[in-house]
Structure 1
Amino acid sequence: MNKWREGGIVAAYFYTLAIIGCALAYWKGSRSEKFAAMIYIAGSITTTLAGTASQWALFEPKIFLIDCLILVGFWMIALRSKKFWPYWITGWQLVGVLIHVQKAFLPGIAPEPYGYLSMYLSIPVLILIVIAGITDKKLVKETISIAQMLQPDGDILKGRHRGQ
């Protein structure tokens, strides 16, 4: 199997999982998860459309700009959210941006690490967005039910809770 065909298959699997994962996060998640899923998909598609002019042998300014915009989007989510996970995806995206900066200042870096790190850092971001989206409403419901059980008029040991 040639490299182009292998890359096409990997890309097809990636986009299938990314679309399904982000759709789940969008469907099940709250506002933060919805925005993160939209930013992730938009960033992935625009990065693919921008392509690599040099197959990662040189600094990629278009992909650097896209990654910076994604970073700003994730940062805005983190600043407005009361959750912790947006800071994780913002940190991973910052590492991705810094990889571009490193390549710009040190052009002798081999293309493989530059390309692989630029691409594969998006996988933990996707995983975290999906997990956050799937567990979001469930965690909120569990937190509310625990808070209700701890009300002064409820007795956990006897099984009496508000509303029973």
Structure 2
Amino acid sequence: MIISCGIAFWRGRSDERMAASAIIFAALLSPVAKASGFASPETGILGIDMALLVFLIVLALRSDRFWPLWAAGFQVVGCTIHLATFVEVDIWPPAYMAAQSFWAWPVLTALLAGTWLEARFRTR
């Protein structure tokens, strides 16, 4: 996260910087919102992840770049994992935590790739 968001602040334009800020904000709030240690649906983290999803969707709709679509798509999967725990309540907590946190990596990768491509395109 430090590398992706750092490069977004260093080389990115407003879309990349806003996304990096939102991702950092969500990452800082998530441990505070954790209630059950992933033993049951984490509604606080779900709220934070849904807010990030809405932000990424709005960013994707107004941006002239393609990477926010990918970031929003990956964030949808992360939110869906939260919603699945309401249906299947006997999910093993480490599996829930790993599956949910895994999808932060593709969101960060989309931000990093988008920043790199934007910076590369600007220098031409």
Same fold (TM over 0.5): yes
Answer whether contact 1:99 1:118 (CA < 8 A) is retained. yes
- 1:101-112 alignment to 2 at 5 Å? 101-112=83-94
Aligned residues: 124
> What code does the residue aligned with 1:56 have?
F
RCO comparison, higher one (Cα < 8 Å, 6+): 2
Q: TM-score, normalised by structure 2?
A: 0.91
Q: TM-score, normalised by structure 1?
A: 0.70
> What code does the residue aligned with 2:68 have?
P
Per-residue deviation, 1:21? 2.5
CA root-mean-square deviation = 1.4
> What code does the residue aligned with 1:103 have?
T
SS for the counterpart of 1:22 is helix
When you count helix as a share of all residues, which structure comes out higher?
A: 2
Answer whether contact 1:78 1:90 (CA < 8 A) is retained. yes
User: Between the two proteins, what is the percent identity of the paired residues?
Assistant: 32
- 1:93-104 alignment to 2 at 5 Å? 93-104=75-86
Per-residue deviation, 1:55? 1.7
Task: Specify every segment of 5 or more residues in structure 2 that has no aligned partner in the other structure, as ranges.
Answer: none
CA distance in 2, matches of 1:108, 1:97: 18
Whether 2:83 is the aligned partner of 1:132: answer: no
Which consecutive segments of 4 or more residues in structure 1 shift more than 3 A? none
Task: Specify every segment of 5 or more residues in structure 1 that has no aligned partner in the other structure, as ranges.
Answer: 1-17, 143-164
